[in-house]
Amino acid sequence: MPLVCVGLSHHTAPLDVRSSHAFPAARMGEALTALRDYEAVREAVMLSTCGRLEIYAELEDYEAGVAQIKMFLQNFRHGDVSDLESYLYTLLGRQAIQHLFRVSTGLDSMLIGEAEILGQVKEAYIQAQKAQSLGKTLHKLFREALNAGKAARSQTGIGNDSVSIASAAIDMAKQHVPDLSDASVVVIGAGKMGRTAAKRLRAEGAQHIYVTNRTIRRAQDVIAEIGHGHVVEMPGLSGAIASADLVVTSTGASHFILTPENIGEAMLERPGRPLVIIDIAVPRDADPAIAEIPGVRLIDIDGLKGVVDSTLQARREAIPHVEEIIDEYIERFGHWYQSRTAVPVIASLTQKAELIRKREMERLFARCPELSERERMLITGSSLTIISRLLHNVVTKIRDKAVSNHAEAISHARILDELFDLQISDQVPAATISDLLDAEE
């Protein structure tokens, strides 16, 4: 049952492709439920962020499972997916495991060590739990990925010097609007990135901050948190943009919020006055065509990476240490995965022993009704001790063999199956788990 990761990211796909294939958070449960129904997909988790769309899955069959995941990506979007295949990568076994740990620790992020990614991995795990697309393997894998991410942030400098997409947006804004204290700034979206952008703008001295959001209450919460600014209702957005020097937008909308029509109208009201728009949403909030409007400077999320490169040296120095942590977690997960071979035989053996013990106790107590309650308890306790001591070495050795010598463990499991008539042959895999961990794409 191979583990795979099928996806695309900022390494393989430009922003417009990532935007067109992004899964809105509101549809994640629906998507996971649909994915769960594919025959070769045993369990699955979907990670969708501004930099990536990845599906982690345990499959019944590698080729059939990967084909079904790709079919799902094409069918669920109900749009043009002709470009999808050329941007996808497929990681198998150890590659998929290592990749998830690199993602959760921030090594694979657009901004090395970004703070948001660990929360996004956790949210993907929670969504899979809710959709019941999570099984034992991915439950364990994602718990270990979250632990690896926490360890990396607490034991290394990978999270030093707080840098995020939102704060990078403000750094970029300062290059084009040098005096934020005198500028009129509109923040569209009151989610995590919008909130972070508003707080950073206020910290940089911005005095005229306007926040708008589909839900006004959330915009009010942002203003209350930063202690300064004004709430703008969505119908009044065009008017606010007409007087703005800077717009930072980050919503979860599936359509363009800023279009050539509404930005064009706003620019007619401010001839000769430039407007800087920084779009940090995926899918995009701003139609790329507005960059052609005279006086408009449009910067998207891919344009921000260079802004923070000079501030990330300390994080880069932490990479070798983080990679050591990742190796430790891969080994730990590998041991757990390999030990699963022992589970069916151990469970069947102990269950059969307990069934025999229980029947013999019932027969003994039926023949000896004169036994007191205390005598019955002592006899039952002794029978439990005998079974435990008899099976202890067998259970310990087969569990250890599952980790150290998988092929020999399978051989032992089959011998026990035959000797004790455990009837678990179909549950003992023919392939080794090391094949899964060491497999290449």
The answer to whether 50 is a known catalytic residue is yes
**Residue of 343, 252, 250, 311 whose CA lies nearest to 22:** 252
Distance CA 396, CA 301 (A): 53
Instruction: Tell me the CA distances in angstroms from 295 to 21, 34, 214, 292, one per residue in order.
Output: 30, 45, 27, 9
Catalytic pick among 4, 6, 50, 246? 50
- The residues annotated as belonging to the active site are 50
